[in-house]
């Protein structure tokens, strides 16, 4: 751990912010969190407590302790001595701009401000900022304290040096940071998810498969491989001795035909009830909170095993 990054501020303590707080605490940082919502501190500490067994199982850094978490409703107080600031406020540009203004009124001028925004771009968030060059995107995936991925990118006014600093910090905490080289709506992984959700919804609407069978198709099919290797490496493995070149040459025409037949994302909300009913039917008689606990336990085991097997990225 770098001593110059020992005091972190987490602005906004919903599910994502609480996940960041848990992650940073587990890596041995002092964390000051802030959120104006009534009861925010109690909810935050409850979420940190709930996530602590999982980060313990992954291995705590020296000095890691939940006692290193402090809370204030005053944003300026939270960021005044921070050496890195993770903003996880509501996904509204006006709120982000107000938060950035408050943060900049108190934070040191060279301290990075990373936004967890899942859709807004760094360029949009940094507009009007006093020091826009230090505002970066640091988008995690839920559960933030477990999933290693964080997407990092800068806006039009962000310095390349500060993007590199953010990547270095996240990497030092055990995150798997990828760089967004060009701003696009939804960043990288969310766009990949939306492409899958689009076709999954279409298949249900077209009567090809039920919600439950589509979930089964992914969780017991390609999802197992995707948890270990990405889509391109999996394609390469499917191509035999000729690798991905052979596979794309052999199946390219068929894949182009399938791609032309893919569904479009629904233009209205009429589909929501059908999908929700399908989810209710899939979960009937099941303990959903228990499923999520089991998911997290298996995630811990998978992440730990991937860390041991050096050839699995």
pLDDT 10s digits, 91-150 = 999 999 999 999 999 999 999 999 999 999 999 999 999 999 999 999 999 999 999 999
Residue ending a domain, among 121, 149, 179, is: 179
Indicate which CATH number applies to the domain containing 72: 3.40.50.720
The whole-angstrom separation of Cα 75 and Cα 99 is 8
- CA 105 to chain CA centroid, Å, is 28
pLDDT of residue 2: 44
Residue 1 has pLDDT above 70, yes or no: no
198 lies in the same domain as 173: no
Helix (H) or strand (E) holding 263: none
**Structural domain range at position 59:** 3-179
7, containing H or E segment: strand 7-11
If asked whether residues 67 and 107 sit together in one domain, one would say: yes
60-66: long-range contacts, CB 8 A cutoff, minimum separation 24? 60/26, 60/28, 61/1, 61/26, 61/27, 61/28, 62/28, 63/28, 64/25, 64/26, 64/27, 64/28, 65/25, 66/25
User: Of 160, 179, 198, which marks where a domain is finished?
Assistant: 179
> 312 pLDDT exceeds 90?
no
Residue 311 scores a pLDDT above 80: no
We report the CATH number of the domain holding residue 253 as 1.10.1040.10
pTM for this entry: 0.93
Answer yes or no: are the C-beta atoms of 266 and 200 closer than 8 Å: no
Other beta carbons within 10 angstroms of residue 251's beta carbon come to 14
pLDDT tens digits along 143-173: 999 999 999 999 999 999 999 999 999 999 9
- Cα dist. 180→127, 162, 270, 305 in Å? 19, 14, 34, 27
- Structural domain contains residue 64: yes
Q: Is residue 313 included in any domain, yes or no? A: no
- Is 200 found in the same domain as 163? no
Note the pLDDT of residue 5: 53
How many whole angstroms separate alpha carbon 89 and alpha carbon 1? 26
Whether the per-residue pLDDT at 313 is higher than 80: the answer is no
Q: Report the pLDDT value the prediction gives residue 309, as an integer from 0 to 100.
A: 79
Residues 268 and 132 in one domain: no
Q: Are 154 and 75 in a shared domain? A: yes
Question: Both 110 and 153 in a single domain?
Answer: yes
Predicted local distance difference test score (pLDDT) of residue 194: 96
Looking at the fold, whether 293 and 199 belong to one and the same domain comes out as: yes
Interval 27-78: pLDDT, tens? 999 999 999 999 999 999 999 999 999 999 999 999 999 999 999 999 999 9
Specify the pLDDT at position 308: 84
- Model pLDDT for residues 201-215, shown as the tens digit of each residue: 999 999 999 999 999
Residue 139 lies in a domain: yes
Shared-domain flag, residues 147 and 68:
yes
Phi, psi of 254 (to 5 degrees): -65, -40
């Amino acid at each position: 751990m770098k001593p110059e990054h020992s005091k972190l501020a987490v602005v906004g303590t919903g599910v994502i912010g609480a996940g960041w707080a848990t992650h940073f605490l587990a890596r041995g940082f002092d964390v000051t969190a802030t959120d104006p919502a009534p009861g925010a501190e109690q909810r935050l500490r409850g979420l940190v407590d709930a996530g602590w067994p999982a980060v313990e199982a992954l291995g705590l850094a020296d000095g890691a302790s939940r006692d290193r978490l402090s809370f204030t409703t005053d944003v300026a107080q939270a960021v005044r001595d921070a050496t890195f600031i993770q903003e996880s406020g509501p996904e509204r540009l006006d709120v982000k701009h107000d938060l950035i203004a408050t943060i900049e009124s108190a934070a040191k001028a060279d301290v990075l401000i990373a936004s967890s925004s899942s859709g807004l771009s760094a360029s949009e968030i940094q507009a009007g900022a006093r020091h826009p060059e230090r505002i970066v995107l640091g988008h995690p995936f839920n559960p933030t304290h477990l999933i290693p991925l964080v997407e990092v990118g800068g806006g039009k006014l962000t310095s390349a040096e500060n993007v590199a600093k953010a990547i270095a910090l996240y990497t030092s905490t055990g995150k798997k940071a990828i760089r967004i080289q060009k701003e696009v709506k939804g960043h990288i992984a969310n766009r990949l998810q939306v492409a899958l959700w689009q076709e999954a919804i279409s298949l249900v609407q077209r009567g090809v498969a039920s919600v439950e069978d589509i979930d089964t198709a992914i969780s017991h099919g390609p999802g197992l491989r995707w948890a270990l290797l990405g889509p391109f490496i999996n394609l390469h493995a499917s191509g035999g001795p000729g690798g991905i070149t052979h596979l794309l040459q052999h199946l390219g025409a068929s894949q182009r035909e399938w791609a032309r037949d893919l569904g479009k994302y629904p233009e209205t909300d009429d589909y929501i009830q059908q999908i929700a009913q399908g989810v209710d039917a899939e979960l009937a008689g099941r303990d959903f909170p228990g499923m999520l606990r089991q998911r997290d336990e298996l995630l811990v085991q998978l992440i730990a095993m991937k860390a041991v097997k050096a050839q699995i990225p």
